[in-house]
Structure 1
Amino acid sequence: MLTSWKTSYLLLFFSLWFVSPAHSQVGITVSPGRLYYRLPPGSRGSQKINVGNPTTRELEIGISIGDWDYDSLGNNISYPAGSIAKSCSQWIQVMPGSYFSLPPNQQQNLDIMLSVPADADVSVPVHTAMLYITQLNPSSAGSNINGASINITVRMGVKLYHSFEQQDNRDIEIIDFADKTVAADNKTKTPSLRCLDLLFNNTGKTWIEGKIKWELLDEKTGDKTKLEPLDFYSIPGDKRTVRKVLPGDLKRGRYNATAIINYGERDELKVAELEFDY
């Protein structure tokens, strides 16, 4: 008799907590989800992350390092360690080690040491890397309807950022603001959508955690419609398109759209406006 086995790998990026009601014995907690270093060439610094085991079984945990970047829409792209110009993956050391066992309901603190080479390329304002925390002994999630065994492996990621700058130097240049129609996708059964596309460049020298607020003004009636704000993350050199889908129940008419980008802790703002017919 041939036994069919199926392994399901669940990849969780940038989450601080994983809980599945159906698989209560599966999970890793990691905090924080991002580490920020401000160090000059030839120096080093250390920060801690906490890895927890909320399950009732011992977990075997492995630590690995990779690279990542954003695409033009702000999605995360993974790369092998040391394969991109802004990588700092070779500068990282995990202490006490990259492998450990974690008993049920216990936690482990890890020191993440970042050592900046004396000859580091200072023309790259921000270097990045990804720390992967992986459960090496898969947890059984039972069987599917065909009787195949399903195992789940959890992997979580912590983003690392390094800057030579000791002070924040943030700036954004708005390139374009336009209304677009996104064609329907028959494969995903997604209907055509009307959107606002805001294009900007990160022209500063440090990372940005920002928020974009959107407002529509009906030029005929004067009615205002506030859309849900969008959070975004960006690093220097990013050329970003942020897309906001217009409400399906928006009335026909001529509108003035306003997008307000808050990209700093000191209310650093950039504003874009657009007139369009809907």
Structure 2
Amino acid sequence: MQKSTQNKNCIIIATPAKIIRTQNSIMKAILCSFALIAGLLICPSITNAQRVNINPTLLSFNAAAGERSSQTITIVNISNERQVFQLSLGDWLRDSLGNHQYLKAGTLSRSCADWIKLDNSFIEIEPRASKEVRVTLNAPADTLMLKEMKWAMLFVQNVKEQENSKKKKGKVNAVINEIFRFGIHLYQIPPGVHNYEAKAIDLRPDQSIKGSYNFFVRNTGNIMLQCQARLELTNMETGEEIKLERIEFPIFPDANRTIPLAIPANLKKGRYSALAMLEYHDDMPLEAIEMTIEIK
């Protein structure tokens, strides 16, 4: 059965997609910095957000059963005022669209938040100074708990001290405090956890966005993947190939992602083979789904 969507100047008719799996021999190592500071900024000023520098923004542990592993983060106060910071742990995940969701520590089955200990959860830093915080992961002795990747988030939030302000009788003083919260990704990947595997599930027209197709993929392995998705169009009459830009994204184990792939608005009329491809590791097969679309 064919599906069609109405574009502004054309009608797109799509036949059902078919899944293709081939060996990928061209993919280069993908080095994605998805661990950039994930900020919940309760203040629109970017300048104010730069009053603190935190490094690194990702801690990756590889502890075996019963092992203890420690790393440090450095918090730099680059402002001209003394700052106070509170550190806490939480869970997080990405939904199918890649949005972050934050949860209480220990909520997720893949959380390692309960294994993490901080040598200090409340620190004061003088202007233009820095302090280090040791982050220790204590892996449980039960090997069954180390069969998969786990993760958590370390939050660093500034704490505004209340200042005594002079008040006149009958007057109310309003004080606006700027609160900044930064997230550091914590990953625990036990030795032997390296099952890189993903599947292309489906390719369907987006019913709400004209000229866009949703590429559904799933991480079926036991470790986070750094993926690339792309769409190639081939005119079935002329053989002309159109290769669209790659979209890079991470995906947690057992998670699904929906990747929007848009066809060019100025695509010439005709029948096209649309090939959506998923690349996720140099040594693993490329996943692909092909379907036919017609531009009228």
TM-score bracket, normalised by the shorter chain, equals: 0.7 to 0.9
Q: Which amino acid aligns with 2:216?
A: L
Is the Cα–Cα contact under 8 Å of residues 227 and 280 in structure 2 kept in the other structure? yes
When residues 249 and 54 of structure 1 are mapped into structure 2, their CA distance, relative to the original with a 3 A threshold, is farther
Q: CA RMSD in A?
A: 3.1
State the match for 1:125 in structure 2.
Answer: 148
State the match for 2:157 in structure 1.
Answer: 134
When residues 167 and 79 of structure 1 are mapped into structure 2, their CA distance, relative to the original with a 3 A threshold, is closer
Residue 65 of structure 1 and its aligned partner are, at CA, apart by 0.3
Q: Which amino acid aligns with 2:106?
A: G
Residue 44 of structure 1 and its aligned partner are, at CA, apart by 1.5
Is the Cα–Cα contact under 8 Å of residues 223 and 253 in structure 2 kept in the other structure? yes
Q: Which runs of 5+ in 1 are unaligned?
A: 1-12, 139-147, 183-191
Is the Cα–Cα contact under 8 Å of residues 149 and 193 in structure 2 kept in the other structure? no
Larger strand fraction of residues: 1
| Superimposed CA distance per residue, residues 158-181 of structure 1 (whole angstroms, 9 cap, x where no aligned partner) | 111112233522011221122223
State the match for 2:94 in structure 1.
Answer: 70
State the match for 2:247 in structure 1.
Answer: 230
C-alpha distance in 1, partners of 2:280/2:136? 28
When residues 23 and 167 of structure 1 are mapped into structure 2, their CA distance, relative to the original with a 3 A threshold, is closer
* Divergent runs of 4+, >6 A: 17-21
C-alpha distance in 1, partners of 2:288/2:46? 46
2:145 aligned counterpart, secondary structure: coil
C-alpha distance in 2, partners of 1:52/1:268? 44
C-alpha distance in 2, partners of 1:132/1:81? 11
Select 1:50's aligned residue among 74, 81, 103: 74
Select 2:274's aligned residue among 252, 257, 275: 257
TM-score for both structures, normalised by structure 1: 0.77
Is the Cα–Cα contact under 8 Å of residues 64 and 146 in structure 2 kept in the other structure? no
What does 1:22-37 correspond to in 2, within 5 Å?
24-27=47-50, 28-37=52-61
Structure number with bigger Rg: 2
TM-score for both structures, normalised by structure 2: 0.73
What does 1:139-178 correspond to in 2, within 5 Å?
150-166=176-192, 168-178=194-204
When residues 110 and 252 of structure 1 are mapped into structure 2, their CA distance, relative to the original with a 3 A threshold, is farther
Is the Cα–Cα contact under 8 Å of residues 15 and 156 in structure 1 kept in the other structure? no
Q: Which amino acid aligns with 2:274?
A: A
Percent identical: 28
Q: Which gives a bigger RCO, structure 1 or 2 (Cα 8 Å, sep 6+)?
A: 2
Count of aligned positions: 249
Residue 266 of structure 1 and its aligned partner are, at CA, apart by 4.4
